[in-house]
Each structure stands twice: as C-alpha cells, then as structure tokens.
Amino acid sequence: MKILVVGSGGREDALAWRLSQERDADVFTTPGNCGTARWGENLEGDPEEVAARLEPDLIVVGPEAPLAEGLGDRLRSAGFAVVGPSAEAARVESSKSFAKELMKRAGVPTARSLKARNLEEARKAVAEVGRFSESSDSPRRGVVVKADGLAAGKGVTVCRTEEEAENAVREIFVEHRFGEDSPVAVIEEILVGREASMLAVVSSGTFLLLPGAEDHKAVGDGDSGPNTGGMGAISPTPVLTSEIEEKVSERIFQPMVETLFREGLDYRGILYAGLMISPSGDPSVVEFNCRFGDPEAQAVLPRVRGPLLDVLQACATGERLVGRLEVDSSAVACVIAASEGYPVATRTGMPIEGLSLDDTVDETGLPEVFVSGVKRRGDIFVTAGGRVGGFMGRGETLGAALEIAYRSLEKVRWEGMHFRRDIGRREKRGLVV
C-alpha cells in the first residue's frame, strides 16, 4: 500500500516513521527532508503532480497552509483518499472568527470574544472585553488580540495594559502586519490555567481521540520570550488527567464534530484542540487547528498502537469511526533544538556536529531525532530551518523519557544552537497563564 505524506518538517518525519511501521506500508514524502528519507522515498515537485505520478492509496497532508488553500479538495476531486479537511472546513484554523462562531453554535466552552472589522470596532471591543480595571496582580487582567487569518503563530498578542492592546489592534488595522487588505480581528478575554493539546481523527461526525499532549510554545525556560512553533512536547501530560480528557471529549470534541457534520462541512482529517484547563479542571478552547501539531505529533504518534493506518484510511474515505485508539502506556518526550535567533531572526547553514540519523532510542524503533530543518552538504549535515530537530525519548515515566531525549540532544552541537532545559517540568511550578 502506497502512502504519501505531504510536508517537510518534524511532524512529517514522525508521520512517515509511524506509518512505515504498519504492515505492507510503502511510505513516500513530498518534499520531505533528510529524516523522512529514512522511512521511504522523498519525491520532489508539486504535491498534485507527485500524487498523479505515484497514485498513492492514501495521502496525509501535514501542514495547514495547503489545506487552507484547498489541496485536500483538489486531491479528493482527482480521486485520492486524503487525510486533511476541505478548505471550507479548514477554516476552523484559518479563520479565528469562523472558529469562534462555530464554537458558539456548538456550545463549546471558549473565551468570550468580539469580532472587529476596523480600528474603531476593535477599540470598542477592547474596552468591552478587556479587564483593565482589575487589581494589577489578577492573572485575568487584560485582553487577547488575534488577527483573523493564518499568521504562523504570530498573530496573537496577550495584552496586559490598554497601551499594549492599542498597539496590537494598530498592528492589525493600521500597519496591516498580517498582510490583509480588509483585516478582521478577534478580541477575547484572557483564560487562566494550564495549556494542553488534544487531537482527534475526525470523519463523518465521529472522532477517535489521540493521546493527550503538552507543547511548550515560548522560546525560553520558564515560558519566557516570544512564542515559537513549539520547543518541545510530552505525552501524556499531568495536565490532562483521564477525568479531564473525558470532559474534553464530551464538552468539546463531541459537540464540535457533530456541529461540523450537521452544517455540511466535509471534515476528514485531524482536529487539534489547543486547550486551557482552568484551576478547577474545566477545559476551554484556545484555538482549533486542522492538522497534527508540531511537535505534538512527534510525542503522540509513538504512543499510538494498533492499526493507525486503518483508522486514517477510514477517515480519508469518510467512514464513521468506532471504538478507541489503542495507546501505549509509555511516556514520550520530544525536545526541540533550534537555530540561533529563532524565532526572531534565524541563522541557518551552520555545520552540525555529532548528529546521527541512524540511532534509535529503544527496541520500538523510535529514532533519536525527528528532523525539522537539516540538509546534507557534501558529507556533513547543516542547519536548514528555525527548528532543527526534535530529540526523542521514551520511558516508563516522563522523567525517564526526558533523560533519554536530553542525553541524545547533548551529543549534538552547532554554533548558536539553543533549546529549553525545562521541557516536561512545568508541573513543578504554579499556574501557567
């Protein structure tokens, strides 16, 4: 069976690896990277042309941008079985206001919000939603300003003062920082608690939950510095107890997936809920994504046992999904090592010392590293992206998994390399706000 994975990051490396473990699976990645080449063949070219040449039995689209632009629709019209929603349904990620309206109709818990189409509306919304008069140490003080469209994680500002909120709305409506002629913003209240991610395979109004995970978005230890695509992930996470996972399933996925189906949206793919778990253990949605998370996929996929390929095939062909995914009881950690300057001004092309793409962490075949941005230059590896690699560990406990991941990471170096030293260790601190 031929499977084509679309994308070139660590998430796609993890997908290609996990799918290559399935019986009779022949995995191809387009364009892929030097990590994905370990599990099959990398194919260059436009994904539609590659698919036409290869005639795969299943296509899994990794990133959000091609889904938002309709790659899923075009591949399906050409007769392929695709894991990845239609452009219309991908708006759960590509339009924050669309997602908010859908959540309202579905009764899914999320931050109270207002939509704004110009500077004046945005200022009014900030005044209405913002909690600027509370005592200065209240974690809820302030407002969140979000640009409506895809902004690669850069369109969201958590504003603690009115001045910050004014700057954030000016960035959207005056400076047009997010590149739209008629921008839209969502202004919402600040949610308090701890963040976690839950993903599900969705098809025809049904879903199967993948194991829960926790990302670490800020670049620095203790959640300091600007947000990145994600500096590390763990699965499971102490934030998502089985009781909370049950609430996420009943209060969030169930109504959301049913509403998508009822409203005629062709959702065949992965639905990712970015969550805030309140101090009393109640989940709210911070955002939805229309695909696997990166680096959540690296932490979650090694824990999925059983026939993942069958489930993805059922999803791609629009079957109703029944049962549960079998999950391994081990803990998995992924620690990202990044290039100098990431995520602000990334410097790439640095020779990498000590990197081996052949080593595995244990008998499950989990590789030491899932590759995000690495290229071969002659017979050496050089950095080729902001995030360079996700170093992996698996163990009976989270601590054991982290130890293995950090040990692998410490064998590798390049000029300007940086990583967080506190991945998976948040539970020792108080609330993350």
Residues at the interface with ligand AMP (CB under 6 A)? 111, 144, 146, 153, 156, 158, 188, 190-191, 195, 217, 227, 274, 286-287
Which H or E run contains 209? Answer: strand 206-209
Query: Smaller CB distance to ligand AMP: residue 5 or 423?
Result: 423
* CA pseudo-torsion sign 249, 251, 255, 256: negative
d(CA 302, CA 17): 9
DSSP H helical ranges for 150-253: 162-173, 242-247
Query: Smaller CB distance to ligand GLY: residue 110 or 206?
Result: 110
Q: Does position 294 bind ligand GLY by CB under 6 A?
A: yes
Bond before 31 cis per omega within 30 degrees: yes
Residues 263-292 contacting ligand GLY, CB under 6 A:
289
d(CA 315, CA 208): 10
Site string for ligand GLY, 74-113 (x = CB under 6 A): ----------------------------------------
Secondary structure (DSSP) of 139-156: TT-BEEEEESS--TT-SE
Which of ligand GLY, ligand AMP, none interacts with 158 (beta carbon under 5 to 8 A by kind)? ligand AMP
Helix axes 119-129, 162-173, angle to 10 degrees: 150
Which of ligand GLY, ligand AMP, none interacts with 188 (beta carbon under 5 to 8 A by kind)? ligand AMP
Query: Smaller CB distance to ligand GLY: residue 150 or 409?
Result: 150
d(CA 227, CA 410): 24
Q: Are 232 and 424 in contact (CB under 8 A)?
A: yes
Name the segment binding ligand GLY (CB under 6 A); options: 47-55, 248-256, 293-301, 352-360: 293-301
CB of residue 228 to ligand GLY, shortest distance in Å: 9
Q: Where are the beta strands (DSSP E) in 290-342?
A: 331-338
Beta strand 232-235 pairing with 214-215: antiparallel
∠ CA 95-388-199, nearest 5°, is 40
User: Looking at 12, 148, 188, 215, which residue binds ligand GLY (CB under 6 A)?
Assistant: 215
Residues 37-56 contacting ligand GLY, CB under 6 A:
none
Query: Smaller CB distance to ligand GLY: residue 188 or 215?
Result: 215
Which of ligand GLY, ligand AMP, none interacts with 393 (beta carbon under 5 to 8 A by kind)? none
Backbone angles phi and psi of 263, in degrees to 5: -85, 10
Q: Are 217 and 231 in contact (CB under 8 A)?
A: yes
Query: Smaller CB distance to ligand GLY: residue 196 or 409?
Result: 196
CB of residue 289 to ligand GLY, shortest distance in Å: 5
Q: Are 48 and 26 in contact (CB under 8 A)?
A: no
Which of ligand AMP, ligand GLY, none interacts with 190 (beta carbon under 5 to 8 A by kind)? ligand AMP
Query: Smaller CB distance to ligand GLY: residue 125 or 248?
Result: 248
d(CA 268, CA 274): 19
Which of ligand AMP, ligand GLY, none interacts with 156 (beta carbon under 5 to 8 A by kind)? ligand AMP
Half-sphere exposure of 236 (CA within 13 A, CB side): 15
Q: Are 252 and 202 in contact (CB under 8 A)?
A: no
Whole-angstrom CA distances from 95 to 87, 147, 186, 385 are 11, 9, 10, 26
Query: Smaller CB distance to ligand GLY: residue 173 or 292?
Result: 292
CB of residue 218 to ligand GLY, shortest distance in Å: 12
CB of residue 198 to ligand AMP, shortest distance in Å: 14
Q: Does position 293 bind ligand GLY by CB under 6 A?
A: yes
Query: Smaller CB distance to ligand AMP: residue 129 or 412?
Result: 129
Which of ligand GLY, ligand AMP, none interacts with 19 (beta carbon under 5 to 8 A by kind)? none
Which of ligand AMP, ligand GLY, none interacts with 144 (beta carbon under 5 to 8 A by kind)? ligand AMP
Spell out the residues 6+ positions from residue 359 whose beta carbon is closer than 8 angstroms to its own: 367, 368, 408
- Residues forming the site for ligand GLY (CB under 6 A): 215, 229-230, 289, 293-294, 296
